[in-house]
């Protein structure tokens, strides 16, 4: 059987979802038999080198770079999966939604109780920095997403069941205990 090609990325996430992928434990050996990784933090491939079957997205979109990478994934992956609460609904970074961006930045860099040294009241303004979006967006509000695997992080069994089904073209089994929002 031809190996399916997998790619993964972490946008505005904490890498917890990627850790949960590793939590499939010894099944990782089975996974390696079934798939080949392309662009992913796991192998540090930065650019797609071939068309990808399944792209796994952790994290929502909080800045311009997240949007760019998400679109890059959509262009290069047949199937996109939103993995985890942040990809699905913005997650904890989206707690800033509804609060004007200026207010957020001021709280973080000027007025916050833990700010000590910023006498000139500088907000991060280096051109190299990606621009913050007005709010954090769930991935499916930016590009089309094909599957959603909730959890914070998603249970390893959910990830395994879903990946296995997608890789082997079988229907997905999702037992009650493995679909949780936390």
Partner 1 sequence: MEKTNNKIRITIDGKRTYVTKGSTIVEAAKENGIYIPTLCHFEGADPKACCRMCTVKINNRMMTSCTTPVTEGMEIENDTEELNEVRKSIIELLFVSGNHFCPACEKSGNCELQALAYRYKMLVPRFPYSFPRKEVDASSPKIIKEQNRCIACKRCIKTIRDEHGKHYFAYKNRGQHLEVILDPVLGDTMPDDLAKKAMENCPVGSILYKEKGFDQPIGTRKYDKQPIGSEIENNV
- Is residue 171 involved in binding partner 1 (CB under 8 A)? no
- Is residue 88 involved in binding partner 1 (CB under 8 A)? yes
Which residue, 44 or 177, is less far from partner 1 as judged by CB? 177
Q: How far is the CB of 84 from partner 1 (least distance, A)?
A: 9
- Is residue 99 involved in binding partner 1 (CB under 8 A)? yes
| Environment class of 86 (CB within 10 Å of its CB; exposed 0-12, middle 13-18, buried 19+) | buried
> Strands 52-58 and 147-149: what pairing?
unpaired
What sign does the dihedral 71-60-47-29 (CA atoms) show?
Answer: negative
- Is residue 57 involved in binding partner 1 (CB under 8 A)? no
Bridge partners, residue 10, by sequence: 58
**Residue among 93, 94, 52 at smallest CA distance from 72:** 52
Question: How far is it, in rounded angstroms, from Cα 109 to Cα 85?
Answer: 27
- Is residue 95 involved in binding partner 1 (CB under 8 A)? yes
Collapsed DSSP state (helix, strand, coil) of residue 24: coil
- Is residue 94 involved in binding partner 1 (CB under 8 A)? yes
Which residue, 108 or 179, is less far from partner 1 as judged by CB? 179
Map the footprint of partner 1 across residues 121-160, applying CB under 8 A.
135, 138, 140-141, 148-150, 152
Among 26, 46, 98, 125, binds partner 1 (CB under 8 A): 98
Which residue, 149 or 167, is less far from partner 1 as judged by CB? 149
Q: Count of CB atoms within 10 A of residue 57's CB?
A: 31
Which positions lie near partner 1, rule CB under 8 A? Answer: 82, 85, 88-92, 94-95, 97-99, 135, 138, 140-141, 148-150, 152, 174, 176-177, 179-182
């Amino acid at each position: 059987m031809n190996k399916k090609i997998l790619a993964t990325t972490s946008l505005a996430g904490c890498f917890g979802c990627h850790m949960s992928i590793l939590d499939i434990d010894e099944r990782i050996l089975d996974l390696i038999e079934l798939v080949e990784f392309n662009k992913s933090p796991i192998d540090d491939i930065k650019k797609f080198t071939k068309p990808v079957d399944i792209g796994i997205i952790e994290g929502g979109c909080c800045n311009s770079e997240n949007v760019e990478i998400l679109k890059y994934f959509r262009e290069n992956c047949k199937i996109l999966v939103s993995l985890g609460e942040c990809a699905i609904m913005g997650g904890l970074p989206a707690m800033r939604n509804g609060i004007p961006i200026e207010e957020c930045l001021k709280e973080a860099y000027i007025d916050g109780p833990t700010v000590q040294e910023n006498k000139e009241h500088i907000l991060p303004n280096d051109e190299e920095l990606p621009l913050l979006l007005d709010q954090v967006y769930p991935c499916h509000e930016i590009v089309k997403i094909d599957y959603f695997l909730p959890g914070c992080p998603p249970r390893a069994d959910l990830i395994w069941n879903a990946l296995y089904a997608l890789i082997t073209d079988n229907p997905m089994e999702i037992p009650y205990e493995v679909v949780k929002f936390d």
